[in-house]
């Protein structure tokens, strides 16, 4: 190792000049200089002294330390010193308990300095400004100016600083904020309420704060704020929803939410595009707990409302979250599956598997698979019951159809219902094929006046008349990613080959939809 070091240092004419040419940092230069030594000729007395302890390269090290380019600019150093002195003066103002005006001025300056400067937030916290600001929340100020200044100062200190978030909670700010809201002055001051909501939003972003905030009674305040604020307080409404979403990530906070009327309220507000996606995010966390799923299913028209979201083609995020909620509830409860089917879930899922996003298609396919397995068990049970009834019936006598003439009418009604379902499926397939054809035209850079051939126009009608025989039809026969395989080929100019792929997809779609019709027939 020593020989390598010597070679590295002696391999050039001037090791010191080589080091100065490289744009390394100061300490790397110092380390290399100390290790290799400078190019300073040794004196004879030094070479003869075997036990000379003087470190080589000391002159070169001093030269490096004297380089002006290695140190910060004097102007920058002066500005940093002035900034630090200003922060110290602000911290001292907050310590002046004898003068409320000075303390209020200090709180306002903390708010200003910590608004956009991350380093100032860290330095102010190290100077101890958080405890005086938390204590300022208890100040007796009829105008609430001191409380508002302290709240926004704490809010800015917590921006993008997890250490300050934890320190604010440890200082007891949560209970003081609740006490401030519950006081006569705070409850009537909307500015104070908005500042408290904003603080809860910032503090709830830290995972360690979530259970503490949930157990402090803040959830009831946030729900009340969400319900009481009118349209003029849109920012407070958004902050409340986002804070509730942050808190719902922790499973322990779901139970306090269920004690309020949050679930019925947010379900009734689905449809407002400004808040719908955030509401669905909260419900996605609530369904992870059995009590949360029960609370959702107990709300009247909950499933029709969620199923209606699946048709929001202009909001794929809402479709994905609604399909997730329905998927979890369908897998956990047989009763919920029956209510979903009665609310028209199957047709909405079928459309989603064709026109939805990739994630929504996967979740819709999972729900359909769950319904298919459930329907298969029901059909097998009905067949077993029918066989027992046949064996126990008398060998001679009137048939069941003769004893109950109304069965023929029921069969005709079933046939009519199946016919309507097939018409709806046919229309859905045609819509899907037309959408894919438009994408093909766009991807192939064809002229806008391009007219599809008659062969393509007859694909839907001809394929829907084909029936599969000799094998059992399952939902699994349809590959939901077939459309993606077709779209990869849209840049090709061979339209005949693309039409062949569309025809194969149309047949698979027909088989997939016939599985639904066969299930309806088995009933």
Residue 461 pLDDT > 80? no
Residue 73: the pLDDT is: 79
Name the least confident of 284-288, 328-332, 366-370, 490-494. Answer: 490-494
CB contact set of 158 (below 8 Å; sequence gap of 6+): 164, 165, 168, 199, 202, 203
The mean pLDDT of the chain is 74
Nearest to 304 by CA among 278, 275, 271: 271
Q: Bigger pLDDT: 65 or 287?
A: 287
Residue 403: the pLDDT is: 44
Residue 381: the pLDDT is: 56
End-to-end alpha carbon distance in the chain:
85
Name the least confident of 165-174, 260-269, 488-497. Answer: 488-497
Residue 39 token pair: 């190019």
Most confident residue range from 20-24, 212-216, 383-387, 424-428? 212-216
Residue 372: the pLDDT is: 86
pLDDT in tens, 348-375: 999 899 888 999 999 999 999 998 887 6
> Residue 93 CA to chain centroid, in angstroms?
42
Average pLDDT over residues 272-287: 94
Residue 293: the pLDDT is: 96
Q: pTM of the prediction?
A: 0.65
Q: Give helix then strand counts, H and E, for the chain.
A: 32, 0
CB contact set of 486 (below 8 Å; sequence gap of 6+): 436, 498, 501, 502, 505
Note whether 199 and 191 are within 8 A (CB): no
Q: Bigger pLDDT: 71 or 466?
A: 71
Residue 361: the pLDDT is: 93
Residue 380: the pLDDT is: 55
pLDDT in tens, 295-336: 999 999 999 999 999 989 889 999 999 999 999 999 988 899
Average pLDDT over residues 56-76: 59
Average pLDDT over residues 37-51: 47
Residue 342 pLDDT > 70? yes
Q: CA separation (Å) from 303 to 267, 270, 339, 420? A: 10, 12, 7, 23
Residue 41 pLDDT > 60? no
Residue 1: the pLDDT is: 44
CB contact set of 79 (below 8 Å; sequence gap of 6+): none
For residue 416, what pLDDT band results from cuts at 50, 70 and 90? low
Scored b (16 or more CB within 10 A) or e, 82-105 reads: eeeeebeebbebbeeeeeeeebbb
For residue 27, what pLDDT band results from cuts at 50, 70 and 90? low
Residue 201: the pLDDT is: 97
Q: Bigger pLDDT: 434 or 370?
A: 370
Nearest to 279 by CA among 314, 313, 318: 318
For residue 444, what pLDDT band results from cuts at 50, 70 and 90? low
Residue 469 pLDDT > 50? no
Residue 231 token pair: 């349209």
Residue 141: the pLDDT is: 87
> Residue 326 CA to chain centroid, in angstroms?
17
Residue 385 pLDDT > 60? no
Classify the C-alpha dihedral 269-274-278-284 as positive or negative: positive
Note whether 482 and 365 are within 8 A (CB): no
Residue 23: the pLDDT is: 43
For residue 474, what pLDDT band results from cuts at 50, 70 and 90? very low
Residue 67: the pLDDT is: 56
Residue 443: the pLDDT is: 57
pLDDT in tens, 133-166: 999 999 988 888 999 999 999 999 999 999 999 9
CA 345 – CA 304 distance, rounded (Å): 8
Note whether 163 and 130 are within 8 A (CB): no
For residue 466, what pLDDT band results from cuts at 50, 70 and 90? very low
CA 156 – CA 117 distance, rounded (Å): 9
Q: Bigger pLDDT: 47 or 75?
A: 75
Residue 279 pLDDT > 70? yes
pLDDT in tens, 210-260: 999 999 999 999 999 998 866 457 889 999 999 999 999 999 999 999 999
pLDDT in tens, 393-408: 333 333 334 444 444 5
Residue 97: the pLDDT is: 79
Q: Bigger pLDDT: 483 or 27?
A: 27
């Amino acid at each position: 190792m020593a020989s390598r070091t010597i070679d590295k240092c002696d391999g050039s004419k001037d090791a010191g000049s080589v080091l100065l040419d490289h744009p390394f940092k100061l300490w790397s230069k110092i380390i290399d200089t100390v290790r290799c030594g400078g190019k300073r000729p040794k004196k004879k007395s030094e070479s003869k002294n075997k036990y000379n302890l003087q470190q080589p390269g000391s002159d070169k090290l001093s030269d490096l330390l004297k380089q002006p380019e290695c140190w910060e600019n004097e102007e920058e150093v002066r500005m940093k010193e002035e900034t630090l002195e200003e922060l110290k003066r602000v911290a001292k103002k907050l310590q002046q308990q004898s003068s409320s005006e000075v303390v209020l001025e200090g709180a306002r300056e903390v708010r200003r300095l910590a608004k956009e400067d991350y380093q100032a937030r860290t330095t102010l916290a190290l100077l101890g400004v958080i405890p005086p600001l938390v204590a300022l929340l208890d100040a007796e100020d009829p105008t609430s100016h001191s409380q508002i200044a302290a709240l926004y100062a704490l809010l800015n200190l917590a921006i993008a600083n997890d250490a300050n978030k934890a320190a604010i909670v440890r200082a007891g700010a949560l209970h003081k904020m609740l006490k401030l809201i519950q006081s006569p002055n705070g409850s009537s001051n909307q500015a104070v309420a908005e500042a408290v909501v904003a603080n809860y939003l910032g503090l709830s972003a830290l995972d360690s704060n979530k259970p503490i905030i949930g157990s402090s009674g803040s959830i009831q305040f946030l729900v009340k704020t969400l319900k009481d604020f009118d349209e003029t307080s849109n920012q407070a409404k958004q902050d409340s929803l986002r804070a509730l979403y942050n808190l719902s990530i922790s499973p322990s906070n779901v139970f306090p939410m269920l004690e309020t009327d949050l679930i019925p309220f947010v379900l009734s507000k689905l449809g407002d595009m400004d808040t719908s996606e955030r509401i669905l995010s909260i419900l996605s966390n609530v369904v992870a707990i059995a009590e949360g799923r029960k609370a959702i299913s107990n709300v009247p028209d909950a499933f029709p409302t969620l199923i209606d979201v699946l048709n929001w083609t202009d909001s794929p995020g809402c479709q994905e979250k609604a399909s997730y909620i329905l998927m979890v509830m369908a897998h956990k409860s047989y009763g919920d599956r029956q209510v979903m089917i009665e609310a028209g879930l199957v047709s909405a899922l079928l459309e989603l598997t064709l026109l939805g996003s990739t994630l929504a298609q996967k979740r819709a396919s999972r729900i359909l698979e769950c319904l298919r397995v459930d329907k298969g068990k029901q059909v097998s049970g009905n067949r077993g019951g029918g066989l027992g009834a046949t064996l126990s019936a008398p060998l001679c006598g009137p048939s069941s159809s003769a004893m109950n003439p109304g069965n023929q009418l029921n069969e005709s009604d079933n046939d009519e219902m199946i016919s309507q379902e097939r018409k709806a499926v046919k229309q859905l397939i045609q819509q899907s094929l037309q959408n894919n054809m438009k994408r093909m035209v766009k991807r192939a850079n064809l002229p806008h006046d391009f007219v599809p051939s008659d062969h393509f126009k007859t694909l839907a009608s001809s394929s829907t008349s084909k029936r599969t025989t000799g094998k059992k039809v399952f939902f699994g026969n349809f590959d939901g990613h077939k459309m993606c395989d077709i779209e990869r080929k849209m840049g090709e100019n061979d339209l005949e080959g693309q039409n062949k792929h569309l025809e194969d997809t149309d047949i698979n779609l027909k088989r997939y939809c016939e599985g639904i019709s066969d299930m309806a027939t088995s009933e």
